[in-house]
Amino acid sequence: MKKMIIFLMLFTTLYGELATNENVTKLYVATFNRAPDANGLKYWVDESKLEIEDIASSFFEQNETKVLYPDGYSNIDFINSIYLNLFSHSPDQAGLSYWQIRLDDKKIIKSQFILAIINGAQNDDKSILDNKTAVGLRFAEGGLINIQSSKDVMKGITADPATKDAMINAINNALANVSTTVSDSATGLVWQDNNDTINIRKPQVTVANVQAGNLTDISGDTVFTYCSNLELDGRNDWRVPSLKELASITNINNRPAFKTGFKYIGDRLYHWSNESDTNDNNNGLGIGFDKSKEQGVGFFSFAKSDNLYVRCVSGTPIQ
């Protein structure tokens, strides 16, 4: 019973906890038995604006969760699954009975149970969860998004830190062999395609220059200086693409609407072009690679000081 009291004491501290890469990664491990994909982790931590208990609850609205724990899945099976996901072993009989009664009586919901188990981990259980979390973080930080791979990296992780180190080394080796560009045979252009393309956002013109009325001054920390300073795959002639060039890598039949072949993509990513809005020089033009096939993609006008994504391009400009 002492163990159960500790769980409840820890659980009462969860409300209001901000989402972090670490605690959301633990939720992925517990709920899905996998590392977070880069896009998913970024969404929940940076874009959802939810606290951790709300994210845990929202996980149960996802199709992946409904497939893993369908209607009719017993509370006993659910408890066993979460323990196996987190600690690679089933709960002891006392723990199983305790949580089964609380779930059966609806004194705790499943997402709350998961958070309580995560926060109550001790000794070897804490060590194995810490190791799985470190592996999951490295997977997502590397910009990886393959779901099967996110499951595979959890296999064989124990309380022994050597298992964590070996898997992180394997991830690092895999990343070293991943191409960071995509060549488009239709246009002859070469496109940046690495972790930066889903993480870095910059303005066309800095806030200081906009405030000073220097709307054509692209110096400072802007998309233009970022691309001009980029060195990738032996190339140093990177630049910000035109609208026409950005449009050339769209495919509305895909979700998001990138041409097949791009690995580092995300939902509703707005990308800068190198063009200004001819109707309002305070604004620049970009493209939204919407996640919806029905909505497609579109051109958008944004304030030049807005921070949008950038995907640099190399090669002869499209006329």
In a domain, 122, yes or no: yes
Specify whether 46 is located in the same domain as 112: yes
In a domain, 206, yes or no: yes
Specify whether 295 is located in the same domain as 205: yes
Of 156, 176, 196, the residue at which a domain comes to its end is: 176
Specify whether 24 is located in the same domain as 172: yes
**Two tokens at 218?**
């692209």
Specify whether 79 is located in the same domain as 196: no
Number of domains in the chain: 2
Q: Radius of gyration of the chain from Cα atoms?
A: 23
Specify whether 170 is located in the same domain as 191: no
Type and span of the H or E element at 255:
none
Distance CA 290, CA 269 (A): 7
Any residues with CB less than 8 A from the CB of 284 and at least 6 apart, and which?
204, 205, 272, 273, 275, 276, 277, 301, 302, 303, 304
Specify whether 111 is located in the same domain as 162: yes
Of 140, 161, 176, the residue at which a domain comes to its end is: 176
Lowest mean pLDDT among 27-31, 95-99, 151-155, 174-178: 174-178
Mean pLDDT of 62-76: 95
Q: Would the CA dihedral through 123, 126, 128, 131 be positive or negative?
A: negative
Mean pLDDT of 243-269: 81
Specify whether 286 is located in the same domain as 248: yes
Specify whether 170 is located in the same domain as 190: no
Specify whether 69 is located in the same domain as 153: yes
Strand partners, 283: 303
In a domain, 319, yes or no: no
Q: Per residue in 207-234, pLDDT tens?
A: 999 999 999 999 999 999 999 999 888 8
In a domain, 89, yes or no: yes
Specify whether 302 is located in the same domain as 201: yes
Exposure on the CB side of residue 206, measured as CA atoms within 13 A: 11
pLDDT at 268 over 90: no
Of 150, 176, 202, the residue at which a domain comes to its end is: 176
Mean pLDDT of 98-119: 96
Over the chain, what is the mean pLDDT?
89
Residue 280: which domain range? 181-314
pLDDT at 38 over 70: yes
Per-residue model confidence (pLDDT) at position 298: 74
pLDDT at 87 over 50: yes
Specify whether 138 is located in the same domain as 217: no
Distance CA 284, CA 273 (A): 8
9 confidence band (pLDDT: 50, 70, 90): very low
Specify whether 129 is located in the same domain as 156: yes
Residue identified by tokens 């949580």 is 99
Would you mind telling me the total number of residues written for the chain in this entry?
A: 319
In a domain, 233, yes or no: yes
